[in-house]
Amino acid sequence: MVSRVIPVEPFDLVIFGGTGDLARRKILPGLFRRYCAGQIPDGSMIIGAARGDHDAGEFRTLVTEAVQEFGGGRTCEDGTLDAFLAMIDYVTVDARGDTGWAELATKVRKELVNAFYFSVGPGLFGDLAERLQRFDMADDDSRIVVEKPFGRDLETAKALNASLAKHFDETQIYRIDHYLGKETVQNLMAVRFGNMLFEPLWNSQYVDHIQITVAETVGVSGRGGYYDKSGAMRDMVQNHLMQLLCLIAMEPPAKFDPDAVRDEKLKVIRALEPVEPHHIVRGQYSAGDDEADYRTHVEDPSSKTESFIAMKMAISNWRWAGTPFYLRTGKRLKARTSDITVVFKDAPHSIFGAKAGQHNNELRIRLQPNEGMTLDVTIKEPGPGGMRLVDVPLDMSFAEALGPDAADVPDAYERLIMDVIRGNQTLFMRGDEVEAAWAWTDLIIEGWQARADVPKPYDALSEGPTDAMAMIARDGRIWRPIKT
């Protein structure tokens, strides 16, 4: 496979919060990898802007360490890091005061494409947006990138949208959900809409149900304070799982264009039924394998925040009426994996008799690790002894199928940052999409609060609470195993 790097014009990128954890782990190493790939042209500038009182030299040291620690092993020619560092600058700014803004304004070149990455808490988004305009750094072509969490309910999301809308048009706002930058997530669209094979079967007539699982083995140690105010519903379901659901369930957009795609995703969210209480299981992990239980890591020893959630969702439209979607996500589960399984219906009549057993096709889409797809196909078990059927996987690991270059695809952050520079909003969430997702989420959370719902305990490194198994078993179905 030939790796294609689409060139961009020189640009200025300001990273507010450039000294923070996200910048060090993802944004700066990602930019370096794009530089190595030849995608960041000479003449571009990357300017860290944060509260810390550093000079450019100190920030370059931080960048060097971030690249060395989190650079992901890309081998670049000698001298590349020095050339990259020559593009790096730093300004001390206070998002809430006037410190540093006049200096920053002298560095940002309005004649180039410029983008401003808000890698800071959402409480600062409005302040940054206002100052970018007041200090005359932005024009109609400037872009701002904002991180999750985008609000904690509909009201706060609306307030954030309004604070940004005062200063920037919706076409300039890039709300990141890094799941949308994953290679396989985009492949989902390629598979659905680039092949004749799947789309005719992609509906309730042929699909029995769909499962989406995002499982982590890590707990909340070190992030308990943040996580306990959020929980699996706000931290994962409202954004990442909802986005996956939308891409799996949406109608084919007329073209692969930002608003066409996002219009279709929005229709899915608006067609979601409210979830019945008995179709949701919340869990909290217990101690195990040298790590303490959930409540040990958070301030409130009687916390009712969920570290696991499983739910059955229904989409009320012609395509999906009658096909349930089962979503599951949690911490301290058996394996770190994200996958989607499309379970097709049984053949209407088995000509091979009861002995051959029940068989159906399943399409599994693995987002991580080992991105790829598997389609289970029923065949005859080889050898004599009659017609015994067996399911075998047609396995397509992208790394194997597409050669070494496939393992070197840009990670989600790299791809999304370059999309910002190219001005392509397709893989970013639109304001109305985020608000619709919160409106649906709020109803569920309000229900828990009204019922004083308490999450069920589950064993660390298990598949979650037994109630989650019971919920799907009531429908005569089972969860696919959580495994890598």
C-beta of 62 vs 340, nearer to ligand NAD:
62
Per CB under 6 A, residues contacting ligand NAD are: 16-23, 25, 50-52, 93-96, 119-122, 124, 147-149
Widest CA span in the chain: 83
Question: Distance between CA 8 and CA 394 in Å, rounded?
Answer: 38
C-beta of 46 vs 250, nearer to ligand NAD:
46
Question: Distance between CA 116 and CA 14 in Å, rounded?
Answer: 5
Long-range Cβ pairs for the range 99-103 (8 Å, 24+):
100/49, 101/131, 101/134, 101/135, 102/135
C-beta of 101 vs 285, nearer to ligand NAD:
101
C-beta of 20 vs 71, nearer to ligand NAD:
20
Taking the complex as a whole, how short is the minimal distance between the CB of residue 43 and ligand NAD, in angstroms? 26
**240 assigned to active site:** yes
State the sign of the Cα–Cα–Cα–Cα dihedral 277, 279, 284, 287: positive
Taking the complex as a whole, how short is the minimal distance between the CB of residue 461 and ligand NAD, in angstroms? 23
C-beta of 128 vs 246, nearer to ligand NAD:
128
Taking the complex as a whole, how short is the minimal distance between the CB of residue 96 and ligand NAD, in angstroms? 5
Taking the complex as a whole, how short is the minimal distance between the CB of residue 210 and ligand NAD, in angstroms? 26
Taking the complex as a whole, how short is the minimal distance between the CB of residue 52 and ligand NAD, in angstroms? 5
C-beta of 101 vs 398, nearer to ligand NAD:
101
C-beta of 125 vs 398, nearer to ligand NAD:
125
Taking the complex as a whole, how short is the minimal distance between the CB of residue 141 and ligand NAD, in angstroms? 24
C-beta of 126 vs 457, nearer to ligand NAD:
126
Taking the complex as a whole, how short is the minimal distance between the CB of residue 223 and ligand NAD, in angstroms? 9
- Nearest residue relative to ligand NAD (C-beta): 20
Question: Distance between CA 294 and CA 460 in Å, rounded?
Answer: 10
C-beta of 120 vs 472, nearer to ligand NAD:
120
Helix H, strand E, coil C: the string for the chain is: CCCCCCCCCCEEEEEECCCCHHHHHHHHHHHHHHHHCCCCCCCCEEEEEECCCCCHHHHHHHHHHHHHHHCCCCCCCCCHHHHHHCCEEEEECCCCCCCCHHHHHHHCCCCCEEEEEECCCHHHHHHHHHHHHHCCCCCCCCEEEECCCCCCCHHHHHHHHHHHHCCCCHHHEEECCHHHHCHHHHHHHHHHHHCCCCHHHCCCCCEEEEEEEEECCCCCCCCHHHHHCCHHHHHHHHHHHHHHHHHHHCCCCCCCCHHHHHHHHHHHHHCECCCCHHHEEEEEECCECCECCHHHHCCCCCCCCCCEEEEEECECCCCCCCCCEEEEEECCECCCEEEEEEEECCCCCCCCCHHHCCCCCEEEEEEECCCEEEEEEEEECCCCCCCCEEEEEEEEEHHHHHCHHHHHCCCHHHHHHHHHHHCCCCCCECHHHHHHHHHHHHHHHHHHHHHCCCCEEECCCECCCHHHHHHHHCCCCCCCCCCC
C-beta of 11 vs 179, nearer to ligand NAD:
179
The residue from 240, 279, 349, 359 that is catalytic is: 240
Using CA atoms, how far residue 328 sits from 189, 210, 255, 334, 361, in Å, is: 22, 11, 31, 13, 21
Taking the complex as a whole, how short is the minimal distance between the CB of residue 290 and ligand NAD, in angstroms? 24
Strands 280-285 and 143-146: unpaired
Question: For tokens 């020559």, what's the residue?
Answer: 86
Taking the complex as a whole, how short is the minimal distance between the CB of residue 98 and ligand NAD, in angstroms? 11
Angle of helix 56-70 versus helix 28-36 axis, rounded to 10: 80
Q: Which residues are catalytic?
A: 240
